Chain A
């Protein structure tokens, strides 16, 4: 026991790590089962381990590195983390795991992981050869050409919509949008393609769709115009436009940026599946700087999403932001210690402060359609529902998400801290903190 004792994670947090609902259900059952032995937690970095009786004669060795977190289990499951690791976490969460010295198999694993991490870091920092540089440049030029052609086509299509009128688009279905999106994918502008796909459901989104569609078309037009002439833009804005178009920024370049050290609080996570690709948004807010950040990750079918940032925890770490005029997306560049539980994130904003922040962010990135806010207030029923801050100012909740009854139940009409995404249609709740617990929205 070299580390100070951390309060264990809540079951809710453990659930956030589960790759799917059935894994978590299986883990919950397993956690209550009698097959566990030699469980313990402690060591440095802080870890969790145990033996679980499986169907074979030899029990499975399950271990969790709580700092990262990382998992290992000798079971054959391809789920990650597997139900044994989740069950072990649940037992820890329920206070059923005592602090002891780690067994040998646990320390071996910790050590081997440490050396692997060092090797990887070495590889990443190795400089590229001249030939590699040239090839990369060629690829970049070719791509720029292709993107430019795609953008030109998009601009023509946008103009055509307005020239001929958008009134009939609610009868046309998704097809017109899909065709344009497919062309943009071919043109290697995935960001633009995704933006066009986001338009597809708008004409069938109910009354007022014309307003929403024109707004989105006009912003796409603005983006395409900017992307066609990137050299005329300031550097930051050019980077924002690049990211919106879908130009990838190399990880090394991001990690080389100015690190921002803070106690980063994981205030919300959200998974989305689009076109078979699952994305996980992890929203962070710095306790000291008050800055928001977004750690975005993707997984193809069958791949596991990274689970190292757990809702309701905070992490002392260096973050580096992707370049842009309203920096938001970031990477964790360096960690300083294990995550701690964080049942009451802060500083919470008033509605006025949140609106100011959104407004400032929009002045940098006018295409912004999500921005994390951390508000304190009460939920007020109505259509739409609102979050009312102590000053009486309120923001609407996105009515498309339905009534936030579960949140209302947890809040009980009392003041809560709500982590949400701001969007043009309203807030999208991510998590609610009632001062003791965090509940996923």
Chain B
């Protein structure tokens, strides 16, 4: 009843009573007494009075709705992080404060998530919305957010906006259909996973498809067979070396190079030892004068890249891909070989070849020897590449030694040092920071790296150092100590 009166009132009020006069129909029910007292033809005041009566009646007579109840979230099976840790995360996610800018707060939230995920602890329900929003804007944290969000995260994402869908969907497992119809990246992923599970099945699948594949696709697919690589793969890879497409040969050669005891490795070692010989304690190189069919078959390209002579190119390729252990034919250790005098003409090429070999073959002992051999002389990119394959302990000791000398050179190696940094590095950094004389070039960089590189257990030491400095110097260390303290607290609170 009130609905029809209301629409009469509404249509008159919209255009104005001047243009549409309102004659109230007779009504019964509880509103009858009020409305009939207003008369039948309503002026503006009458209309407003009638509207007020209907409005109050509707509000006072509001009926309950009867919607469906939702399915509740399943109970969590892993424990929640302690309260202090939850509060910490909430504070980090709500943005920066005077001491930590927004970006840093987010990075620290990332640390919280990693540590909590590693320890199997959950973030509380009140934080989940913030975490879902974080994951929606930053895909790199999604895996850890899923890990700490528990079952409630997915439950909540189902009720929330579409941008949270990533939290509902599981990472899609690779489908066999990816192989037949997928893009190259999907096919590579499928083949890689199949190889890891069942190397023979992966090989058969590839060989079956071989005739139809393009050169570039085939090269990528052969490379994917690095997963599950074993002696059984040698025959088909050797056959692949007979392929007329250079890309395919190179890919096959790379895998054979990684296969211990392969005939390819023997051939490359023989070539290397033939090219490089010891004469009167010197290393004398005699690069090949032509690239014969056998060399081509083993993935050596005839044409050098622009600006490189062809003989230098062949020499370098041979040294790079010859197993580094072949040099024990001349010297027991890498250091001994590097200690020899090198041929004046081909020496530089030989050195580059050895550096590339250490990097490509991820040979820690060689990388360490090469770095020690020419630390100051090497170009920085090369140094970083070598450092990245060095055993962690060696690298830490090297950097610690360098920090006591040239800070800026050492700093540039710090980002290849695995975190948290080994104790010798942390010691050297603190020593360096304590020394006012050495706060020079590279010092800021050192601090920035140390914020994340330090094991947070060092926080008390950093704080003690900070407190021991004169006030102006303390300010330089303020951010570093705050960051480290916060990380320390995060780790503590999550235990």
Q: Are B52 and A366 in contact (CB under 8 A)?
A: yes
A70 within 8 A of B: no
> Chain B residue with minimal CB distance to A396?
B65
In the complex, chain A residues whose CB is within 8 Å of the CB of B68: 380
Q: What residue in chain B is nearest A158 (Cβ atoms)?
A: B48
Would you call A164 and B16 a contact (CB within 8 A)?
A: yes
A355 touches B64 (CB 8 A): yes
Interface-located stretch among B121-129, B334-342, B401-409: B121-129
A190 to B152 CA separation, bound complex (whole angstroms): 47
The interface bits of chain B over 46-88 (1 if a CB of A lies within 8 angstroms of the residue's CB, else 0) are 0111111011100111111111111111000000000110010
Given A162-B16, A359-B60, A359-B61: A409 and B129 within 8 A (CB)?
Answer: yes
Q: Is A88 an interface residue (CB 8 A)?
A: no
CB 8 Å contact bits of A16-38 with B (1 = contact, 0 = none): 00000110011011001000000
B436 CB contacts on chain A under 8 angstroms: none
Could you tell me the distance in whole angstroms from the C-beta of B77 to the nearest C-beta in chain A? 14
Chain B residues near A210 (CB-CB < 8 A): 10, 13-14
In the complex, residue of chain A having the shortest beta-carbon distance to the beta carbon of B84:
A94
Contacts of B50 in A (CB 8 A): 218
3 closest pairs, A vs B, by CB? A165-B16, A413-B72, A218-B51
Whether B97 sits at the interface, judged by CB under 8 Å, is yes
Given the complex of chains A and B, what is the CA–CA distance between A410 and B489 in angstroms? 25
| Interface stretch (choices A192-200, A253-261, A297-305, A400-408) | A400-408
Given contacts A26-B98, A405-B160, A409-B129, is CB(A217)–CB(B59) below 8 Å?
no
Whether, in the assembled complex, A103 has its beta carbon less than 8 Å from a beta carbon of chain B, the answer is no
For the complex, what is the distance from the CA of A396 to the CA of B65, rounded to whole Å?
A: 8
Contact B73 A413, beta carbon cutoff 8 Å: yes
- Could you say which of A160, A166, A214 has the most chain B C-beta atoms within 10 Å of its C-beta? A214
Q: Is the Cβ of A406 less than 8 Å from the Cβ of B67?
A: no
Check A163–B17 contact: CB distance below 8 A: yes
Q: Which residue of A lies closest to B71 (CB)?
A: A413
Given known contacts A215-B51, A380-B67, A393-B64, A29 and B99 CB-to-CB distance under 8 angstroms? yes
The residue in chain A whose Cβ has the minimal distance to the Cβ of B68 is A380
> Across the interface, do A386 and B67 meet the contact criterion of CB distance under 8 Å?
yes
Knowing A165-B15, A412-B125, the reply to whether A221 touches B48 (Cβ < 8 A) is: yes
Query: With A163-B16, A163-B17, A165-B15 known to touch, is A218 a contact of B160 (CB < 8 Å)?
Result: no
Q: Which residues in A have their C-beta under 8 angstroms from that of B63?
A: 355
* Complex alpha-carbon distance, A164 and B51, angstroms: 16
Other A-B contacts than A29-B99, A380-B67, 14 sampled, CB-CB below 8 A, are A22-B97, A26-B98, A28-B91, A162-B16, A163-B17, A215-B55, A217-B48, A217-B51, A219-B55, A351-B64, A358-B60, A381-B159, A382-B67, A392-B69
B63 to chain A minimum Cβ distance, whole angstroms, is: 8
Of the A-B pairs whose beta carbons lie under 8 Å apart in the complex, a sample of 16, sorted by A's number, is: A11-B83, A28-B91, A29-B97, A159-B45, A163-B16, A164-B16, A210-B10, A221-B49, A358-B60, A358-B62, A363-B60, A366-B52, A388-B69, A393-B64, A408-B159, A412-B125
Count, chain B residues at interface, CB 8 A: 57
Question: Is B52 touching A352 in the complex (CB atoms < 8 A)?
Answer: no
Q: Measured between alpha carbons, how far is A412 from B126 in the docked complex, in Å?
A: 10
* A164-B73 contact, Cβ under 8 Å, with A32-B489, A214-B10, A396-B65: no
Does residue B443 face the partner (Cβ distance < 8 Å to A)? no
Question: Contact between B44 and A159 (Cβ–Cβ < 8 Å)?
Answer: yes
Known: A218-B51, A405-B156. Is A414-B72 also a contact (CB below 8 A)? yes
Q: B125 to A409, Cβ gap below 8 A?
A: yes
Q: Is the CB of A162 within 8 A of B48?
A: yes
In the complex, which residues of chain A have a beta carbon less than 8 angstroms from the beta carbon of B377? none
- Is residue B171 contacting chain A, with contact meaning CB distance below 8 A? no
Contacts of B65 in A (CB 8 A): 386, 393-396
User: Which residues from A are CB-within-8-Å of B51?
Assistant: 214-215, 217-218, 221
B9 to chain A, nearest CB (A): 7
Q: Is the CB of B19 closer than 8 A to any CB of chain A?
A: yes
Question: Does B19 contact A394, Cβ atoms closer than 8 Å?
Answer: no
B232 contacts the other chain (CB 8 A): no
A424 touches B59 (CB 8 A): yes
Binding site for B on A (CB under 8 A): 11, 21-22, 25-26, 28-29, 32, 94, 155, 158-167, 210-211, 214-215, 217-219, 221-222, 225, 351-352, 355, 358-359, 362-363, 366, 378-382, 386, 388, 392-396, 403, 405-406, 408-410, 412-414, 424, 439
Q: Which residues of B contact A25 (CB under 8 A)?
A: 91, 94, 97-98
**Distance to closest chain B CB from A415 (angstroms):** 9
Q: Name the distance in Å between B135's Cβ and chain A's nearest Cβ.
A: 14
A137 to B18, CA, bound (A): 44
Contact B48 A218 (CB under 8 A): yes
Contact, CB under 8 Å: B15 / A221: no
Q: How far is the CB of A203 from chain B (nearest CB, A)?
A: 12
Judge if B155 is at the interface, Cβ distance under 8 Å: yes
Contact A163 B66 (CB under 8 A): no
A165, B44: Cβ atoms closer than 8 Å: no
When distances are taken between beta carbons in the complex, the residues of chain B under 8 Å from A351 are 64
Residues in B with CB closer than 8 Å to A21 are: 94
B20 to A, closest residue via Cβ: A165
Give the distance in Å from the alpha carbon of A388 to the alpha carbon of B72 in the complex. Answer: 13
Residues of A within 8 Å of B152, CB to CB, are 409, 412
Complex: A146 Cα to B98 Cα, angstroms? 50
Q: Give complex CA distance A441, B70 in Å.
A: 20
Complex-state Cα separation, A210 to B13, whole angstroms: 9
Q: Nearest-CB distance from A339 to chain B (Å)? A: 21
Is the Cβ of B70 less than 8 Å from the Cβ of A381? Answer: yes
Q: How far apart sit A11 and B90, CA to CA, in the bound complex (Å)? A: 12
Write the nearest CB–CB distance from B365 to chain A, whole angstroms. 46
**How far is the CB of B230 from the nearest CB of chain A, in Å?**
49
| Cα(A112)–Cα(B125), bound, Å | 44
- In the complex, the chain B residue whose C-beta lies closest to that of A393 is B64
Let me know if B47 and A162 touch, CB within 8 A: yes
Most buried by A among B50, B98, B156: B156
Q: Which residues of A contact B99 (CB under 8 A)?
A: 29
Question: In whole angstroms, what is the CA distance A366 to B6 when docked?
Answer: 18
What's the minimum C-beta distance from B414 to chain A, rounded to whole angstroms? 28
List A contacts of B19 (CB < 8 A): 165
Decide yes or no: A26 and B97 within 8 Å by CB, A163-B17, A218-B55, A408-B156 being known contacts: yes
A333 to B91, CA, bound (A): 37
Is B98 a contact of A222 with CB atoms below 8 Å? no
B52 pairs with A221, CB closer than 8 A: yes
A21, closest chain B residue (CB): B94
Expressed in whole angstroms, the Cα–Cα distance for A215 and B66 within the complex equals 25
Flag if B126 contacts A439 (CB, 8 Å): yes
A272 to B10, CA, bound (A): 32
Q: Quick check: B56 and A162 within 8 Å, CB to CB?
A: no
Residues of chain B lying within 8 A (CB to CB) of residue A160: 44
- A410 and B126 contact, CB distance less than 8 A: yes
Cβ contacts B95-134/A at 8 Å (1 or 0 each): 0011100000000000000000000000001101100000
Asked whether, in the complex, the Cβ of B69 is within 8 Å of the Cβ of A380, the reply is yes
* Cα separation A225 to B73 with both chains bound (whole Å): 52
Please state if B14 and A165 are interface contacts (CB–CB under 8 Å): yes
Q: Is the CB of B155 within 8 A of A412?
A: yes
What distance in Å separates the Cβ of B96 from its nearest Cβ neighbour in chain A? 9
Give the residue name and chain of the A residue nearest to B127 (CB). Answer: A409
**Is the beta-carbon distance between B72 and A409 smaller than 8 angstroms?**
no
Among B70, B84, B155, which residue has its beta carbon within 8 angstroms of that of A378?
A: B70
**A162-B16, A164-B18 known; A412 vs B69 contact (CB < 8 Å):** no
